[in-house]
Amino acid sequence: QVQLVQSGGGLVQPGGSLRLSCAASGIIFSGYTMGWYRQAPGKQRELVAAIGSFGSTNYADSVKGRFTISRDSAQKTAYLQMNSLKPEDTGVYYCAIAGRWWGQGTQVTVSS
């Protein structure tokens, strides 16, 4: 059974940083693309960042230069480092493998 367990998130002031983690089990982690998505209140879920099995990355325009996605295949964990956070980054963040298996979601709130 594939499981993704997220950690991190919380409340941070504008300009602050957070790091999200996503630990996978029950799957050959290194063979899949990992993605981080977010869903803001009243909006559709959107892809924030993704990292391929060989480390290629892509980002939503809104987070380029501020967010960094990475993965540790030995630990079966993906990360999302979020810097220079803005209020519009507020939402529930989800990790996913190949858009098929999903983490439980974690709230990120950027507010003063």
DSSP 31: G
Sheet with 77-82: strands ordered across? 3-7, 18-25, 77-82, 67-72
Percent of the chain exceeding pLDDT 90 equals 84
Given a cut of 90, whether residue 103 has pLDDT beyond it is yes
Given a cut of 90, whether residue 107 has pLDDT beyond it is yes
Given a cut of 80, whether residue 104 has pLDDT beyond it is yes
Averaged pLDDT, 42-59: 94
CA 11 – CA 95 distance, rounded (Å): 19
Instruction: Give the β-pairing of 34-39 and 46-51.
Output: antiparallel
Provide the 3-class DSSP secondary structure of residue 88.
helix
Residue 72 pLDDT class (50, 70, 90 cuts): very high
- Look at residue 22 in the predicted model and tell me its pLDDT: 97
CA 84 – CA 4 distance, rounded (Å): 26
Averaged pLDDT, 2-16: 96
